[in-house]
Amino acid sequence: MAKPDAETPLLRNQLPGYTSIVAGHLAKAPGVAYLELARPHRHNSFHQELWEEFPRALRELDADESTRVIVLAAQGKNFCAGIDVAYLQRNFLTLLTPPPPPAAAAGGGSTAAAPGPAPAPACPGSQRAAMRRGILALQAAYSQLEGCRVPVLAAVQGRCIGGGVDLITACDLRLCSSGASFCVKEVDLAITADLGTLQRLPHLVGHGVAMDLALTARTVGAEEARRIGLVSTVVPDNNNGGSGGGGGSGSSSSNGRGAVVAAAVALAASIAAKPALAVQGTKRVLLHSRDHPPVSAGLDYVATWNSGQLLSADLGAVMAAGAGVRARL
């Protein structure tokens, strides 16, 4: 099981069975769940296990009725370097390797297949179909962030590159340390970014800025990221480290991580204190409005949503409190 490190906030429970993720609920922030990428030695790049564990951990946290907000963070110096190069190489080789010739039967029996990944289909069309299925599966892992009923806040320190940008653009809010930087790197790697950046980034920073970042692959610092709308808050670095209290083993390289996580937790706690159904409905309606641009359709959708969930115990309490205020006036 992955271990918290010195800057991981104190958890009251850690979800078992994860080798590349530390996840659970924060001990000192009711309603706030926490998910931390735990591959600092590989700059939290996504490999096979992390691709499988990430959406599963999100679903597990989101399914807990006590969860009001999720904070996404990462161990080590850098937030996320995207997809692990070894993982990419292995998968490309699998797709490009032709199938072995049929084994000759000996004595009427058959020769067992060698262990390892399944060979690529012989048909080029089938190869491309297999690649498409693989891309869709990776997209679904990140889209799980939007699929969560509760808001997800990203706390970014250090470098956030390639697939890391895909990851944070699928979150609902983004904070970063003053030393953080961002790069839509794929074009330099002869790849068209395909995990969500090109679809989500224009809604955050505008079409022209997104085109600039994606075509130039230039690095954007924290203040520019705030100015263009990629992040909402820049948190001054606190390089003292060791403020989290997680108690895990291993060295700590703060680079502003402790400060930005603390700020994200504070923001998450303030959102968690608000009426849950209203928060969840706000997230869902805003995402629907983004993906269904006509205003008329957005108005119809929110009318349908509120007709189903507006009448709640939370609303009753607010109305009662409001009646008391009016009586005092």
pLDDT (0 to 100) of residue 316: 87
Tally of CB atoms within 10 A around 321: 10
Average pLDDT over residues 112-118: 44
Strand 181-183 relative to strand 220-221: parallel, antiparallel, unpaired? antiparallel
Tally of CB atoms within 10 A around 253: 18
What's the mean pLDDT when you consider all of the chain? 87
Does the pLDDT value for residue 59 go beyond 80?
Answer: yes
Q: Give residue 192's pLDDT band: very low, low, confident or very high (50, 70, 90).
A: very high
Our answer to whether residue 21 is catalytic in this structure is no
| Displacement of CA 60 from its chain's centroid (Å) | 14
Does the pLDDT value for residue 264 go beyond 60?
Answer: yes
Say which of 49, 64, 194, 224 is annotated catalytic. 194
Beta-bridge partner residues of 160: 80, 182
Our answer to whether residue 300 is catalytic in this structure is no
Does the pLDDT value for residue 12 go beyond 70?
Answer: yes
Residue 166, CA distances (Å) to 28, 169, 191, 248, 318 in order: 30, 6, 13, 29, 38
Does the pLDDT value for residue 38 go beyond 60?
Answer: yes
Does the pLDDT value for residue 115 go beyond 60?
Answer: no
Our answer to whether residue 60 is catalytic in this structure is no
Stated pTM of the model: 0.86
Say which of 7, 166, 172, 237 is annotated catalytic. 166
Our answer to whether residue 186 is catalytic in this structure is yes
Does the pLDDT value for residue 50 go beyond 50?
Answer: yes
Per-residue pLDDT of 214-234, as tens digits, reads 999 999 999 999 999 999 999
Say which of 5, 36, 84, 186 is annotated catalytic. 186
Residues 6+ apart with CB under 8 A from 3: 22, 38, 248, 249, 250
Say which of 76, 163, 179, 281 is annotated catalytic. 163
The percentage of the chain sitting over the pLDDT mark of 90, rounded to a whole number, equals 67
Our answer to whether residue 166 is catalytic in this structure is yes
Average pLDDT over residues 299-303: 86
Strand 173-177 relative to strand 152-156: parallel, antiparallel, unpaired? parallel
pLDDT (0 to 100) of residue 114: 38
Per-residue pLDDT of 62-96, as tens digits, reads 999 999 999 999 999 999 999 998 888 887 766 66
Per-residue pLDDT of 139-160, as tens digits, reads 999 999 999 999 999 999 999 9
More confident call, 297 vs 267: 267
Say which of 70, 83, 161, 168 is annotated catalytic. 83
Average pLDDT over residues 8-34: 97
Quote the tokens at residue 33: 């769940």
